[in-house]
Amino acid sequence: MCQDDNKRQFITRITSHRQLTRDIWELRCDLPSGMLSASPGQFVMIEVSPSLQPFLRRPFSIAYRQPAPSGKGEEFAVIYRVVGEGTRRLKSLSPGDEVNIIGPLGRGFTWPRRDDRRPVLIGGGLGVPPLLFLAQRMVASGVVPQFFAGFTRADQAVGLDMLSELGVVPVVATDDGSLGRRGLVTELLPDPPPGDLCVYSCGPLPMLQAVASWCRTGRIPCEVSLENRMACGVGACLGCAWPAAVPESHDRDSRRYVLICKDGPVFAAEEVFAFDR
Ligand SMILES: Cc1cc2nc3c(=O)[nH]c(=O)nc-3n(C[C@H](O)[C@H](O)[C@H](O)COP(=O)(O)OP(=O)(O)OC[C@H]3O[C@@H](n4cnc5c(N)ncnc54)[C@H](O)[C@@H]3O)c2cc1C
Ligand code: FES
């Protein structure tokens, strides 16, 4: 880690940790004063265990910020699925425990915008949480976004209570029809896309690609949040490199890759997805 990254390393305290679904948890921590700049789309690297096992921190998007129940300062939340050793360790932590985090990291969503396009947020599964934070910011600035949320099943749905608190009414789809419309969330998008929208999306790669090509047909600006395995989270290991859609010919090194942790995780769709021209 370089000196700058050390400045973004904090010990914070868990304020609440609750189970949302069979395998999805919500962790809230005090927001360190050094993290006040945290914005939607950014993430934190969490040391899930003080032991060396697992050795690497794990990346999680910031799902939202809110005033701390104590009335002093703020807390931030991450919403995560237990998928392996790191998230199993994370799950075992309790309110009051301290965790070592690095953040806020990466480039987030562009908000506010300079134009008056109507924002549409499209999330799939655990791609919904970072969009909650974005919706929170939009509502705070007086704009209520349209929100499309897709889940595999009703018992995998997260974030709907927070959207309702924000006054955002999501259009929901589930693969099996157990909540909202049956099918993929992208099947609910209007065809043709209205041209005055701007789209922000996070979720599984095929969903992001479908959203990006839908936007492309309507010439709508589209930002997508990508994921990859991350070792350092700060641009040092090159482990999260992703092929850029357009080589930057003006760059002396003719760079063909972007680093998801540093250049992203949020990108303009045309930066990372190649389209037929
Ligand atoms: C910028 C960013 C933000 C993220 N935000 C969230 C979030 O808000 N909520 C959440 O639940 N998860 C999020 N993730 C994914 C999360 O970091 C991984 O699920 C976690 O690191 C898994 O750790 P583990 O030790 O439990 O699993 P591991 O044992 O490391 O892996 C278990 C399985 O998950 C797969 N996996 C792990 N990480 C990724 C990844 N990044 N992309 C695709 N597959 C992966 C592995 O290939 C393996 O099959 C985010 C990832 C990134 C890069
Ligand atoms: S995770 Fe190390 S460079 Fe991105």
- CA–centroid distance, 229 to ligand 1, in Å, is 7
Query: Residue 14 and residue 94: Cα distance in Å, rounded?
Result: 7
pLDDT of residue 180: 97
Six-digit token string for 105: 């990291």
For CA atoms 129, 135, 136, 138, the dihedral sign is positive
Q: Of 84, 105, 126, which one is at a domain's C-terminal end?
A: 105
Q: Which atom of ligand 2 is nearest to the CA of 236?
A: 3
Q: Say if residue 40 is in the same domain as residue 63.
A: yes
- Ligand 2 centre to CA of 260 (Å) is 7
ipTM: 0.94
Output the pLDDT for position 39: 97
Report the distance separating Cα 33 and Cα 10, nearest Å: 9
CA-nearest of 15, 24, 135 to 75 is 15
Tell me which of 105, 130, 158 is where a domain ends: 105
Structural domain including 139 reads: 118-272
What is the number of residues in the chain?
A: 277
CA 95, 98, 99, 104: dihedral to nearest 10 degrees? 90
| 47 and 12 both lie in a single domain | yes
* DSSP state letter for 22: S
167 with 238, same domain: the answer is yes
Q: Which residue from 61, 101, 58, 102 is spatially nearest to 78, judged by alpha carbons?
A: 61
Residue 243, in any domain of the structure: yes
End position of a domain, from candidates 46, 71, 105: 105
What single-letter amino acid sits at 19?
Answer: Q
Q: 161 and 260: one domain?
A: yes
Reading the block at residue 269, the tokens are 């769709």
Question: What 3-state class would DSSP assign to 13?
Answer: strand
The protein residue whose alpha carbon is closest to atom 4 in ligand 1 is 60
Q: How far, in Å, from the CA of 51 to the mean position of ligand 2?
A: 22
Do 89 and 160 belong to one domain?
no
Any bridge partners for residue 268, and if so which?
223
- Sign (positive/negative) of CA torsion 38, 44, 49, 51? negative
Helices (H), the chain: 3-7, 85-91, 128-140, 160-166, 205-217, 269-272
Cβ(101)–Cβ(38) under 8 Å?
no
Work out how many domains the chain is built from and give that number.
2
Q: Any idea which residue has 């970072």 for tokens?
A: 130
Distance between alpha carbon 224 and the CA centroid of its chain, in Å? 9
Residue 158 lies in a domain: yes
What integer pLDDT is reported at residue 277 of this predicted model? Answer: 44
Grouped pLDDT means (10 residues each) for the chain, 277 residues? 70 96 97 95 92 82 94 95 95 95 96 94 98 97 97 97 97 97 96 94 97 95 96 94 73 74 96 74
The predicted pLDDT at position 153 comes to 96
241 lines ligand 2 (CB under 6 A): no
Ligand 1: which of 23, 83, 101, 229 to mutate, judged by most atoms within 8 Å of the beta carbon?
83
In this structure, the answer to whether residues 157 and 81 fall within a common structural domain is: no
Give nearest CA residue, ligand 1 atom 42: 228
Ligand 1 centre distance from Cα of residue 36 (Å): 25
CATH number where 101 lies: 2.40.30.10
**CA-CA-CA-CA torsion for 183, 218, 191, 177, nearest 10 degrees?**
10
